[in-house]
Amino acid sequence: MFRKSILAPLILIVLGVLFLLSNLGLLPHLGPIFAKWWPLILVAVGVSLLLRRL
Res 41: pLDDT: 80
Of the pLDDT bands very low, low, confident and very high (cuts 50, 70, 90), residue 4 is low
Cα separation, 33 vs 31, in Å, equals: 5
Res 46: pLDDT: 78
- Of the candidate ranges 4-8, 32-36, 43-47, the one whose mean pLDDT is the lowest: 4-8
Look at residue 29 and tell me whether its pLDDT is greater than 60: yes
Res 12: pLDDT: 76
Of the pLDDT bands very low, low, confident and very high (cuts 50, 70, 90), residue 34 is confident
Residue 47: CA count within 13 A, CB half-sphere? 6
